[in-house]
Structure 1
Amino acid sequence: MATARTDDGVNLYYEEAGSGTPLVFVHEFGGNYWSWEPQISFFARRYRCVTFAARGFPPSDVPSDVALYSQARAAADIGCILDAIGAEKAHLVGLSMGGFAVLHAGLSFPERLLSICAAGTGYGAEKSHEAYFQGVSEEVARQFEEKGAPAFAPTYAEGASRVQFQEKDPAGWALFAERLAKHSSLGAANTMRGVQAKRPSLYDLEEGFKAMQVPTLVVAGDEDDHCLQPGIFLKKTIPACGLAILPKTGHTTNLEEPALFNHLLAEFLAQVEHGTWRRRDPRARPDQIMRTR
């Protein structure tokens, strides 16, 4: 079993497939290293694909101390994975919790990143919903502690932005819910409290994003309501950023619409590697509707 050891002594489980330029996938709270199966089977034909279990998600270690969980630590763990596989640079793809992690990696060590794809990223970022998000994160943590993952997973898996997956692909959603039920209850609770509830709003990181030169693709489902406005914010703030909105789609974009997600990601990676995913043209002024002179 391949593991990367972090500088604070946590072992992170990872898997690899394919060869070539490293392409590292970072999972959401409701998933794990298995969340990227439709992407690994597609992209391993041309990339060295790596997926790993975040701290708190078996078979990675599950630290009992909530102080060992944070947004900064989640980003640093990506760097530990790059070190473990001997990659000087890599493309990063993250969903939700993983999307926040890859964006923070872009702020922390952009020199090691070839590109960033952040999907379903925005929960808790909206300033008007910060207090609510922190409160509901604590409630989710408490439910995992008191009921345990097997009992609470069906409730969590039917969230407002996950029923779209259930409607489109009942078997795929059922597998997602079954795997969610295998989460570590302690790891889930600690992740909710240490990472989700305490991470800074994306809007508070505006100056950092304005300076970040890493080519970026933001992906959101049009029924993933709390990721839409943050997605537009990221598009307008990061210099070389594109925004893709998937129609009639919820939160788990890569599993709910795997073919469309893979197409968008493949086209993005191809443009990055050919040097054609550039900063926004300065003539594309947001304050201009029509040119008159």
Structure 2
Amino acid sequence: MPLIRTRDGVDLHVEEAGRGRPLVFVHEFAGDAASWEPQMRFFARRFRCITYAARGYPPSSLAPAYGQEQARDDLVAVIEGLDLAPAHVVGLSMGAFATLHLGLHAPHLARSLTVAGVGYGAMPAEHAEFAAAARTNAEAIRQGGMDAFAARYDSSPARVTFAAKDPRGHAEFRARFAAHPAEGSAGTMQGVQGGRSSLHDFAEGLRRLRVPTLLVAADEDAPSLDATLWLKRTIPDSGLAVFPRTGHAINLEEPDLFNRTLLDFLTAVDGGAWPFTRS
């Protein structure tokens, strides 16, 4: 599989399958490129599917710096490096923030945006507390290692629904999470999670966003649900899907529903049936 070299010298491991319009998947903090396997298998029948491991996540290399701008620029590097533009871009959580920032910074690279499970720390009232917690979590990773951190992080109310529905899939997910290198995870937690601004800081840009956007939230993932509802009110050309009795790892917990919802959206966009809002 190809490696994409970023502007600051980080090698990003990229995986690809299928033919057709480009469709890029961007993973969450607790996940990795393998977290999109149910989508890679389904959508490769119709699309050119690409996923990649974020900086600090093997087989990608560790990085000199971690932050929201770097996460966005890494996504840009993948799209430009593989000549994918304009691509459908799908992000979950940390990957959804990168997807939104791509739409704000380089909308010409995106054919559509799918923003799932976004919003932790995004609301102004919780932003400072979330940033402080991220710094504490980064230190916990450095001091206690990934195995102990993964067990605690993965026991939140927004995560336990996955374990209840799919114990085998959840066990595989946690094992991969616990195996992530502490240095990359701590840097990501501190720099990307803890260093990003509130989405409210980008409200004017989001109101001007004219890329077709699908927002996906889970009703057992309260921090994401609140922020996603705000995004629905803010992004003019957005649609909202809320999955019932579902937690944060939406695409893994409900892969069939996620795939069908996403396929309907992509089909509408490609068929010219997702019109821009007229003011």
TM-score by length of 1: 0.93
Q: Matches of residues 46-195 of structure 1 in structure 2 within 5 Å?
A: 46-63=46-63, 65=64, 68-195=65-192
Q: Tell me the equivalent position of 1:41.
A: 41
> In structure 1, what is the equivalent of residue 205 of structure 2?
208
Q: Which amino acid aligns with 2:217?
A: A
CA contact (8 A) 2:112 2:211 kept: yes
Conservation of the 8 A alpha-carbon contact between 1:241 and 1:279? no
For residues 246-268 of structure 1, the C-alpha deviation after alignment (integer angstroms, 9 at most, x for no partner) is: 00011000000000000110000
Q: Which amino acid aligns with 1:124?
A: G
Choose from 243, 248, 253 the match for 1:246.
243
Worse-superposed segment, 51-60 or 142-151: 142-151
The more displaced of 18-27 and 82-91 is 82-91
> Separation in 2 of the partners of 1:217 and 1:83?
23
Letter of the 1:179 counterpart: R
Letter in 2 for 1:52: Y
- Deviation per CA, 1:138-161, whole angstroms, max 9, x where unpaired? 121111111111232122111221
Instruction: Give the SS at the match of 2:9.
Output: coil
Match of 1:222 among 205, 219, 227: 219
- Cα offset, 1:194, TM superposition: 0.8
Take 2:233 and 2:272, find their aligned partners in 1: how far apart are those partners?
21
Q: Which amino acid aligns with 1:126?
A: M
Identify unmatched segments of 5+ residues in structure 1.
283-293
Report if the CA contact (8 A) 2:122-2:197 is conserved: yes
- Alpha-carbon distance, 1:84 to partner: 2.1
Q: Where do 5+ consecutive residues of structure 2 fail to align? A: none
Q: Distance in 2 between matches of 1:88 and 1:155?
A: 39
Structure 1 residue 82: deviation in Å?
1.1
Max radius of gyration: which structure?
A: 1
Instruction: Give the equivalent residue in structure 2 for 1:20.
Output: 20
Aligned residues: 279
Q: Which amino acid aligns with 1:150?
A: D
- How many angstroms does 1:88 deviate by? 2.6
Moved more, 149-158 or 75-84: 149-158
Name the % identity.
49
Give the C-alpha shift of residue 278 in structure 1.
1.8
User: Which aligned runs of 4 or more in structure 1 are off by greater than 6 angstroms?
Assistant: none
The one of 258, 261, 283 equivalent to 2:258 is 261
Q: What does residue 5 of structure 2 align with?
A: 5
What secondary structure sits across from 1:218 in the alignment?
strand
Q: Structure 2: how far apart are the matches of 1:158 and 1:49?
A: 31
**Aligned counterparts of 2:210 and 2:74: Cα–Cα separation in 1:** 21
